Amino acid sequence: MKQTVFLLFFAFISLPTFTNEYKATPKNYRNLASKLKSGDILVLEAGQYKNDFSLRDIHGKEGSPIIIKGVSGKTVFMATKGENTFNISQCSYIHFKNITFKGNRRNVDAIKISGKPSHHLLFENNVIKNYGDNQQIVGFSTKATVWNITIRGNVIDGAGTGMYLGNSDGSMPFINGIVENNLIMNTIGYNIEIKHQNKRPGGPGIPITGKTIIRYNVFSKHSKRKGKSDGARPNLLVGHFPESGNGSKDEYHIYNNFFYQNVSNEYLFQGEGNIFFFNNVMYNSKGGGINIMKQNGKPKSIRVYYNTVVSKGRSIRISRGDSNFKQIAFGNAAFSDANMRVAKEFSNIVGSFKDADKYLKLPSGDLGELDLSPKTGKLKGKKINIDDAEKLVDSKHDFEGVLRKHVYVGAYAGSSKDGIWSLSLKRMNVKDIYDVLAGKDKTLKRIVKRIHKGGKYSSLLAELNRLKTSKPVAEQIATELVNEGILALNKAEDIEDENPVEAYRIYSKLVILYGTTEVAKVAKDNRKLIKSEVIKIKKIRSIKERKAKILYLKVEKAVKRLKPFKGERNAENANFRKLNSNAIKNIIRACEIILTKYDGTESTMNAIDLLKEFKIADKK
């Protein structure tokens, strides 16, 4: 299965730098946590860890995160009564990898982020098993304002709720997150629920706009798990973003997922707000497929396209949408015993649940055999005019990574390709389309290897062009390679106004990679147009950072000069505050100036911490 975005992502990030590496055992791991600094690695050695793990106010840096990693399958945290297994508060730039969590059906959460805001955290290749006999118990929970959280490649098997992101009252939002390549199954309630959001809180670093991406996941409720349930729940539910102000234009991009069964007769997916839902494969012999409806807020901008849905209940339903926005479904293959119910739709192919046999290869097989791709010549018609959708996150490729020509409806642009990924309860095989195209051809495999290493694409394209006569598939590889560049160009163009510095960086990388090709020429021209603006922004940032740092250094000196009361500097001690009242007022005033004049700088977070320390103490 092709993961175009992964290739681009890794091509444009800088390698992290690391400093200290600590070896931890079940006896000493708690003592080492407080020592961790930017760039450090904490290796949790093989063994059973029978106590919880709490991390508070620990921070890495961009490009130099803290890594906390186990030995896959051998570093096992056992749930303990009354304590969530991992507790995280006010942390940033930390990666958690290769850790197994065994819940033993105890009613505690596996991973919980709570308290003060956290951001830029990565949870990768972890396994969470058997947490809770109660729908309220969660595998992965966020009960704090969080942003830029990536949850990748994890397995959650057996939990009350797989992931619960946000708070039930709409506070503590989950912002600008990525949930990808996970397997979530055997939950009592939701596989994942992302809660609706009230007014977006302010603060340094919190994104004003963004998108939450849910892709390449497997969601399954194929078996009924024993435990207390609050009622039937869909596999995935997403709530709306803020109704106005910051965050109101945020979007969900939900694509290339496999949804399998809901034994509680519910829909596989339910959502509201701004949603792009495409390239998903969905099978449910008990309940429905896609349900866009009002729960806490009305559906707004909705685009449901290029999905394959086979369901006993209604395949696609879009209802009670905000009339100020468009809700559209097109290019879907939908087979169910209840008619699709959508106000505006075009170019869909619909039929009964049994009709799926006429169009799809094997829609009634067991997992491993189940094949929802079209039979030869089926689900094909006139070219779909995607411009009719008015606004679209375009899908260049289908569910398996095959380039679309907008002729087939459904998640597949033709019959399924062998060797990419079979529908199953396993994490999706992130197999690149280049590997599939190259097959066993040694020459093409050598070229593909150079592509993965980030070799100069201009010379590779020239070589592929020479080979296309003797090896026709070489032309397909070249086309894919050019499309990668076009996608990156589109991404850079989209963010030019919001983030010209990042756009400039992408253009520069494309110039190096694509050399003398048309992609490089366009990138070079675009880079030239924003160069003066980028120089200006960097200069302003540099001055701003320097001034903020100078002011905060003065604040630090002022804090150190505070007179102790009976040998202690305790902000909560009334006598200490009285002794230093004028100095504390000046410190608070200086911190507020940093927040007002130098918002977004590194010194801002330090100023916030000091403000909280002295202001909260004052209130007490």
What pLDDT is recorded for position 619? 45
What pLDDT is recorded for position 602? 75
pLDDT (mean) for 436-464: 85
Dihedral angle of Cα 229, 177, 597, 616, to the nearest 10 degrees: 30
Q: Of the CATH numbers 3.30.1050.10, 3.40.50.300, 2.160.20.10, 3.20.20.70, which one belongs to the domain with range 1-216?
A: 2.160.20.10
pLDDT (mean) for 20-43: 93
Of the listed ranges 17-21, 31-35, 59-63, 141-145, the least confidently predicted one is 17-21
Residues 296/196, Cβ–Cβ less than 8 Å: yes
Residue 57 has pLDDT above 80, yes or no: yes
Residues 63/41, Cβ–Cβ less than 8 Å: no
Residue 442 burial class via C-beta count within 10 angstroms: exposed 0-12, middle 13-18, buried 19 and up = exposed
Question: What confidence category does residue 418 fall into, taking pLDDT thresholds of 50, 70 and 90?
Answer: low
What pLDDT is recorded for position 2? 35
pLDDT tens digits, one per residue of 297-318:
999 999 999 999 999 999 999 9
Residue 43 has pLDDT above 50, yes or no: yes
Strands in 47-49's sheet, in edge-to-edge order, are 47-49, 75-78, 100-102, 127-131, 155-159, 183-187, 218-221, 258-262, 281-284, 308-311, 333-336, 349-351
What pLDDT is recorded for position 568? 82
Residue 133 tokens, joined: 């006999």
pLDDT tens digits, one per residue of 176-195:
999 998 999 999 999 999 99
- Summarize the chain as % helix, strand, coil (round to 5): 30, 30, 45
pLDDT (mean) for 120-137: 92
Question: What confidence category does residue 246 fall into, taking pLDDT thresholds of 50, 70 and 90?
Answer: very high
Residues 6+ apart with CB under 8 A from 413: 397, 398, 402, 403, 404, 405, 407
What pLDDT is recorded for position 199? 95
Residue 110 has pLDDT above 80, yes or no: yes
User: Among residues 182, 52, 197, 167, which one has the least CA distance to residue 122?
Assistant: 182
DSSP 8-state class, residue 384? P
Domain ranges of the chain: 1-216, 256-431, 442-533, 561-619
What pLDDT is recorded for position 89? 97
Residue 405 tokens, joined: 């020509």
Residues 321/301, Cβ–Cβ less than 8 Å: no
- Give me the residues paired with residue 238 across strands: 194, 271
User: What one-letter code names the amino acid at 385?
Assistant: N
pLDDT tens digits, one per residue of 578-612:
889 899 899 988 988 888 888 777 788 788 878 87
Residue 85 has pLDDT above 80, yes or no: yes
* Dist. CA 183–CA 216, nearest whole Å: 9
**Phi and psi for 557 in degrees, rounded to 5?**
-65, -40
pLDDT (mean) for 419-429: 77
* Dist. CA 523–CA 511, nearest whole Å: 6
Residues 200/246, Cβ–Cβ less than 8 Å: yes
pLDDT tens digits, one per residue of 164-176:
999 999 999 999 9
Pick 398 or 304 by higher pLDDT.
Answer: 304
Share of the chain above pLDDT 90, in %: 56
* Dist. CA 290–CA 262, nearest whole Å: 12
Residues 561/586, Cβ–Cβ less than 8 Å: no
Q: At what angle do helices 500-514 and 518-560 cross, to 10 degrees?
A: 140
* Dist. CA 80–CA 77, nearest whole Å: 9
**Phi and psi for 89 in degrees, rounded to 5?**
-145, 135
What pLDDT is recorded for position 50? 94
In the Cβ-directed half-sphere of 242, how many Cα atoms lie within 13 Å? Answer: 20
What pLDDT is recorded for position 620? 40
Question: What confidence category does residue 96 fall into, taking pLDDT thresholds of 50, 70 and 90?
Answer: very high
* Dist. CA 140–CA 553, nearest whole Å: 38
Question: What confidence category does residue 417 fall into, taking pLDDT thresholds of 50, 70 and 90?
Answer: low
Residue 508 tokens, joined: 């520069």
| CA 44 from centre of chain | 25
What pLDDT is recorded for position 220? 97
Residues 372/423, Cβ–Cβ less than 8 Å: yes
23 phi-psi bin (left φ>0, alpha ψ -120 to 50, beta other): beta
Q: Where are the beta strands (DSSP E) in 332-488?
A: 333-336, 344-346, 349-351, 360-362, 371-374
Residues 2/401, Cβ–Cβ less than 8 Å: yes
Share of the chain above pLDDT 70, in %: 94
Could you tell me the pTM of the whole model? 0.73
CA angle 414, 420, 424 (to 5 degrees): 100
What pLDDT is recorded for position 357? 96
Residue 3 has pLDDT above 70, yes or no: no
Question: What confidence category does residue 430 fall into, taking pLDDT thresholds of 50, 70 and 90?
Answer: low
- 349-357: long-range pairs with CB below 8 Å, 24+: 349/379, 349/381, 349/409, 349/410, 350/315, 353/285, 353/310, 353/311, 353/312, 356/310
Q: Tokens 């991992």 correspond to what residue?
A: 86
Q: In 3-state terms, what secondary structure has residue 375? A: coil
pLDDT tens digits, one per residue of 457-484:
889 899 998 998 888 888 878 877 887 7
What pLDDT is recorded for position 178? 95
- Give me the residues paired with residue 194 across strands: 165, 238
Question: What confidence category does residue 615 fall into, taking pLDDT thresholds of 50, 70 and 90?
Answer: low
CA–CA distances in Å: residue 354 to residues 141, 367, 407, 412, 424: 39, 18, 24, 20, 22
Residue 454 has pLDDT above 90, yes or no: no
pLDDT tens digits, one per residue of 535-576:
888 888 788 888 888 898 998 899 889 998 888 878 778 888
What pLDDT is recorded for position 388? 72
User: Among residues 514, 595, 499, 510, which one has the least CA distance to residue 555?
Assistant: 595
User: What one-letter code names the amino acid at 81?
Assistant: K
Give the mean pLDDT of the chain: 88
* Dist. CA 85–CA 89, nearest whole Å: 13
Residue 273 tokens, joined: 């707000």
Residue 395 tokens, joined: 């899908």
Pairing of strands 21-24, 53-56: unpaired
Residue 195 tokens, joined: 């809660």
Strands in 138-143's sheet, in edge-to-edge order, are 53-56, 86-89, 111-114, 138-143, 161-165, 192-194, 236-238, 269-271, 290-292, 316-318
